[in-house]
């Protein structure tokens, strides 16, 4: 999740950057192969419900166990022109890329090239230190699960002026880690849970140390190419997205809605754009066991409770290794990892067997006040729940 402050957005805890209440129009539904009409109608209604909150553009895609797809869009991709939302539009993946990072780490664990019990100091000697931070006591597993205690201090913006001043700033991973080291940890390693983007920046550095390749290259070679995810692209330090894409908006306060599409991600090493098609394919393949051996997938799904603050966003949610487990209203649970970055907010979900999935991407974040954050989160979560429960109890 990155940004209102950029750290906010990424974490999606202060994740849901910002957006607004605006007037926009219509909704349309389409599907590559017609899905059960009731499921398609529900998806359309759910995208319209999100748009009714004031979110300018919404696109959603649900995939049934037999591969049939339902696609729905609502609102507009551009408030100035009224351009329609593309069902194949690109958006910033943001913190959903943490699932990609975790998958690569677990593949390396399966290959014996690193261990989840290795310490940070084993791979990055002296990088995590000072002010009570101690890399000799923090393990790779704790970085993956947000139980390291490392506090975030990522650069970010809270006003339109700060956005325009900082949107093209570029940081090296070492600079971002150094900012975190200026603060005492939130708790001793393993002594609590707190979302830490810095922990995943460290994981990217460890992947590079273990393989000799940048983390984005390992993600491309190990995940994207094998799955044919040709619409998931590393943008690096580019401030733009491939076309088509919706304009992304952020609300900084009443009457202060800003187009924030143009910006460089703070953690550009794992800055990817994607589509609802590719994100569905990713989660379905992961949970179906196509990316990890059984032991590593089981490790990924070993969860711990999240903090009380994050429970407001993910009621009943638990965190594994780069994967979130959330309850379904029809029984059972589903797996996901949402992301929010520079106006784009995306929720996703896949059933435990990988057979039913859904993704919804919004191009406005109502992040100005907590009430709006929770409102948007709840309505988008309902869309995922409805899509995954379309098959009845157990949502398989």
3-state DSSP percent of the chain in helix, strand and coil, to 5: 35, 20, 45
Return the closest-CA partner of residue 177 out of 158, 150, 211. 150
For 331-373, the pLDDT digits (tens) are 999 999 999 988 999 999 999 999 999 999 999 988 788 898 9
pLDDT higher for 260 or 34? 260
User: Residue 312 and residue 375: Cα distance in Å, rounded?
Assistant: 11
Neighbouring CB atoms inside 10 A of 165's CB total 11
User: How far lies 226's CA from each of 24, 108, 382, in Å?
Assistant: 39, 16, 32
Neighbouring CB atoms inside 10 A of 33's CB total 10
Whether the pLDDT of residue 238 is over 90: the answer is yes
Q: Residue 27 — φ and ψ, nearest 5°?
A: -140, 150
Using DSSP, state whether 161 is helix, strand or coil: helix
User: Residue 203 and residue 218: Cα distance in Å, rounded?
Assistant: 12
| CATH superfamily label, 6-74+92-391 | DD-peptidase/beta-lactamase superfamily (3.40.710.10)
Q: What confidence score (pLDDT) does residue 393 get?
A: 55
Q: What confidence score (pLDDT) does residue 368 get?
A: 83
Q: What confidence score (pLDDT) does residue 308 get?
A: 95
User: Contact, 273 vs 369, CB < 8 A?
Assistant: no
Q: Where are the domains of the chain?
A: 6-74+92-391
Q: What confidence score (pLDDT) does residue 365 get?
A: 86
Q: What confidence score (pLDDT) does residue 32 get?
A: 36
CA quadruple 391, 394, 395, 396: dihedral, nearest 10: -90
User: Residue 17 and residue 4: Cα distance in Å, rounded?
Assistant: 5
Average pLDDT in the chain? 90
User: Residue 200 and residue 271: Cα distance in Å, rounded?
Assistant: 12
For 20-60, the pLDDT digits (tens) are 323 222 333 333 334 446 899 999 999 999 999 999 999 99
User: How far lies 203's CA from each of 98, 106, 220, in Å?
Assistant: 10, 11, 16
What's the gap between Cα 379 and its chain centre? 17
Whether the pLDDT of residue 200 is over 70: the answer is yes
Q: Residue 336 — φ and ψ, nearest 5°?
A: -165, 175
What's the gap between Cα 58 and its chain centre? 16
For 82-138, the pLDDT digits (tens) are 999 999 999 999 999 999 999 999 999 999 999 999 999 999 999 999 999 999 999
- In this prediction, residue 255 has a pLDDT band, given cuts at 50, 70 and 90, of confident
Return the closest-CA partner of residue 166 out of 264, 34, 281, 274. 264
pLDDT higher for 159 or 247? 247
Angle at the Cα of 298 from the Cα atoms of 293 and 303, rounded to 5 degrees: 150
- In this prediction, residue 253 has a pLDDT band, given cuts at 50, 70 and 90, of confident
Q: What confidence score (pLDDT) does residue 366 get?
A: 84
Q: Residue 130 — φ and ψ, nearest 5°?
A: 80, 150
Q: What confidence score (pLDDT) does residue 15 get?
A: 36
Average pLDDT over residues 385-392: 90
Q: Token digits for 392?
A: 């009845």
Q: Is residue 252 within a helix (H) or strand (E), and if so which, with residue range?
A: strand 249-253
For 55-64, the pLDDT digits (tens) are 999 999 999 9
Whether the pLDDT of residue 176 is over 80: the answer is yes
Write down the pTM of the prediction.
Answer: 0.90
């Amino acid at each position: 999740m990155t940004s209102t402050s950029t750290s906010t957005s990424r974490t999606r805890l202060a994740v849901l950057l910002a957006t607004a209440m605006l007037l926009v129009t219509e909704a349309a539904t389409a599907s590559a192969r017609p899905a059960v009409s009731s499921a398609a109608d529900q998806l359309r209604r759910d995208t319209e419900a999100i748009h009714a909150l004031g979110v300018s553009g919404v696109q959603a895609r649900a995939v049934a166990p037999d591969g049939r797809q339902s696609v729905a869009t609502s609102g507009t991709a551009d408030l100035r022109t009224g351009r329609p939302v593309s069902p194949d539009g690109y958006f910033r993946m943001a913190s959903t890329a943490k699932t990609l990072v975790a998958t690569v780490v677990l593949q390396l664990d399966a290959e014996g090239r690193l261990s989840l019990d290795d310490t940070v100091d084993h791979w990055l000697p002296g990088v995590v230190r000072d002010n009570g931070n101690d890399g000799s006591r923090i393990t790779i597993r704790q970085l993956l699960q947000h139980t390291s205690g490392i506090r975030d201090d990522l650069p970010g913006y809270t006003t339109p002026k700060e956005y325009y001043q900082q949107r093209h700033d570029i940081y090296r991973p070492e600079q971002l880690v150094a900012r975190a080291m200026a603060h005492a940890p939130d708790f001793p390693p393993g002594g609590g849970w707190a979302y830490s983007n810095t922990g995943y920046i460290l994981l990217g550095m460890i992947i590079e140390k273990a393989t000799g390749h940048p983390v984005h290259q390992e993600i491309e070679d190990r995940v994207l190419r094998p799955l044919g995810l040709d619409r998931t692209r590393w943008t690096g330090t580019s401030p733009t997205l491939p076309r088509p894409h919706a304009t992304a908006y952020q609300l900084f306060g009443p009457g202060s809605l800003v187009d924030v599409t143009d910006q460089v991600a703070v953690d550009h090493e794992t800055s990817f754009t994607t589509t609802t098609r590719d994100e569905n394919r990713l989660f379905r393949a992961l949970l179906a066991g196509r990316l990890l051996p059984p032991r590593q997938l089981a490790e990924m799904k070993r969860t711990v409770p999240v903090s009380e603050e994050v429970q407001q966003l993910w009621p009943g949610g638990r965190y594994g290794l780069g994967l979130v487990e959330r309850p379904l209203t029809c029984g059972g649970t589903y797996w996901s990892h949402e992301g929010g970055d520079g106006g784009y907010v995306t929720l996703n979900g896949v059933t435990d067997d990988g057979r039913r999935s859904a993704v919804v991407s919004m191009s406005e974040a109502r992040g100005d006040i907590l009430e709006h954050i929770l409102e948007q989160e709840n309505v988008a979560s309902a869309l995922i729940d409805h899509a995954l429960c379309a098959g009845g109890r157990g949502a398989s």
